[in-house]
């Protein structure tokens, strides 16, 4: 099993590495095309071929005399000697092993060197410009992300951003850094300093700008993204209300562009909750509210804070997670799913998360289901129920005979030993 996991990890690493190479090559291709690097390279190659033919025409007899064994004719046929001479001359290296013996040849070399100085200079200048542009784009958070799909977009910036990203990578082993895009309105110097202080996050893609900028979100290929997380931004000295307002604006912009992408947003003040709910945001994190709830519970109960920390800390063996269970348990009793997790994984099922997935899809499904009845009174009741449907609704500790609905996932508590890679 361990060897199988190692092989799988090596295979995934290889795929990621090839993906990075492809991304780099594609980026260079776009920049080289924009800076006309290929055009000047083509001019140099055409100049080399033309000058090689002309040199052969005016210096043919000298080439034969210099090689009495006639080996040069083989090189001549393959263009190797001529291309060697042309490249050495165009690049102004001038080794002197092949030099013109006639006045016509010398005049040809003068013209070739004259034109090659301009062509090579333009080629190297545009090549250097493309490489410099790439570095500047990375420093300013401007890059091509058309190749991304099933990636994660993080909107906003935290003072503990490095720890946040590292924890995400630690708990999600299948997520690679180049599949995470951060959109934050921070200065280029701050991006550079961040990557210098955290070399393990060098491949993290950071895009400069406001998270509610529609153009930036589209450049981040949000239509193919797997999940969007909107943080309560700490990059500026904005007030709590201003931070939440930016979160709401970003959430509404994301939802306007993509109706189906999963969105999780962080709020500091619950009074903005209704705006996120109207935008059909699947998950809302109430940072300040959670602190108050933990403090409140610590007054009346013992160890609640430690229990929550134990379950949520990614570095402990205990956890609380949601799992997609086998489809055969849909429309079966809750107790059967409870027994399944207890017997197969020694996990404790504590409830169900219902109406999981795209809110619009779940809503449309509920409406279609409600319309299947011919009873008008029943139809009205079903439509009212569909209208008040709550996305990602937790149903904690339902009755044993509770029928498991579709579009649900299991909420389980468990403990597992982490196997270190050796």
Going along the chain from its start, the domains and CATH numbers come out as 35-140 (1.10.287.70), 152-290 (3.40.50.720), 301-415 (no CATH)
Q: What is the pLDDT of residue 19?
A: 65
Strand blocks (E) in 168-311: 180-184, 205-208, 227-230, 262-267, 283-286
DSSP string, 39-66: HHHHHHHHHHHHHHHHHHHHHHHHHHHH
Q: What is the pLDDT of residue 403?
A: 93
Cβ atoms of 407 and 321 closer than 8 Å: no
Torsion, Cα of 65, 68, 72, 74 (10° steps): 140
Q: Residue 155, Cα to own-chain centre: how many angstroms? A: 13
Q: Give the number of C-alpha atoms closer than 13 A to the C-alpha of residue 290, restricted to the C-beta side.
A: 11
Q: Residue 417, Cα to own-chain centre: how many angstroms? A: 30
The DSSP code for 230 is E
Tokens at 233, concatenated: 């931004």
Angstrom distance (rounded) from CA 146 to CA 163: 28
Angstrom distance (rounded) from CA 176 to CA 284: 25
Residues 6+ apart with CB under 8 A from 351: 394, 395, 396, 397, 398, 411
Angstrom distance (rounded) from CA 199 to CA 79: 48
Q: What is the pLDDT of residue 9?
A: 60
Q: What is the pLDDT of residue 249?
A: 93
Ranges of residues in the chain with a pLDDT under 70 are 1-13, 15-17, 19-20, 23, 60-79, 94-97, 135-147, 359-389, 417-422
Whole-Å CA distances, 173 to 154, 321, 352 = 18, 15, 25
Q: For the packed helices 2-34 and 37-66, what is the interaxial angle rounded to 10 degrees?
A: 90
Q: Is the dihedral of CA 292, 293, 294, 297 positive or negative?
A: positive
Provide φ and ψ at 194, rounded to 5°: -60, -45
What is the three-class DSSP state of 348? strand
End-to-end CA distance of the chain: 13
The DSSP code for 212 is T
Q: What is the pLDDT of residue 77?
A: 54
Which strands make up the sheet holding 180-184, listed edge to edge?
Answer: 205-208, 180-184, 152-155, 227-230, 262-267, 283-286
Which residue, 341, 315, 318, 317, is CA-closest to 329? 341
């Amino acid at each position: 099993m361990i060897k199988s996991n190692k092989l799988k990890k090596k295979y995934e690493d290889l795929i990621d590495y090839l993906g990075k190479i492809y991304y780099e090559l594609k980026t260079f291709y776009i920049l080289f095309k924009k800076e006309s690097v290929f055009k000047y390279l083509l001019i140099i190659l055409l100049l080399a071929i033309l000058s090689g033919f002309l040199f052969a025409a005016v210096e043919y007899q000298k080439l034969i005399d210099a090689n009495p064994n006639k080996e040069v004719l083989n090189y001549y046929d393959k263009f190797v000697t001529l291309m060697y001479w042309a490249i050495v001359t165009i690049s102004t290296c001038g080794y002197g092993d092949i030099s013109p013996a006639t006045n016509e040849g010398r005049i040809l070399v003068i013209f070739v060197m004259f034109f090659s100085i301009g062509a090579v200079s333009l080629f190297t200048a545009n090549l250097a410009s493309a490489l410099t542009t790439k570095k500047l784009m990375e420093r300013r958070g401007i890059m091509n992300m058309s190749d991304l799909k099933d990636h994660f977009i993080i909107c906003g910036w935290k003072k503990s951003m490095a720890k946040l990203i590292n924890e995400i990578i630690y708990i999600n082993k299948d997520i690679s850094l180049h599949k995470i895009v951060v959109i934050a309105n921070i200065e280029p110097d701050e991006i550079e300093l961040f990557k210098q202080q955290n070399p393990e996050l060098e491949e993290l893609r950071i895009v400069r700008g406001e998270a509610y900028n529609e153009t930036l979100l589209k450049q981040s290929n949000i239509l193919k993204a797997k999940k969007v997380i909107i943080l309560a931004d700490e990059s500026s000295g904005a007030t709590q209300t201003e931070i939440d307002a930016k979160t709401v604006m970003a959430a509404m912009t994301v939802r306007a562009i993509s109706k189906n992408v999963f969105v999780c947003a962080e709020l500091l003040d619950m009074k903005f909750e209704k705006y996120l709910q109207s935008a059909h945001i699947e998950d809302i994190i109430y940072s300040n509210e959670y602190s108050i709830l933990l403090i409140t519970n610590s007054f009346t109960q013992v160890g609640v804070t430690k229990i929550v920390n134990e379950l949520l800390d990614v570095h402990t063996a205990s956890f609380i997670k949601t799992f997609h269970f086998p489809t055969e348990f849909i429309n079966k009793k809750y107790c059967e799913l409870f027994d399944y997790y207890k017997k197969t994984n020694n996990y404790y099922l504590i409830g169900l998360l219902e109406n999981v997935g795209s809110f619009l899809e779940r809503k449309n499904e509920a409406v279609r289901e409600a319309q299947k009845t011919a009873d008008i009174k029943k139809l009205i009741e079903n439509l009212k129920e569909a209208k008040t449907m709550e996305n990602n609704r937790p149903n904690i500790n339902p009755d044993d005979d509770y029928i498991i609905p579709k579009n649900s996932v299991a909420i389980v508590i468990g403990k597992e030993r982490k196997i270190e890679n050796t």
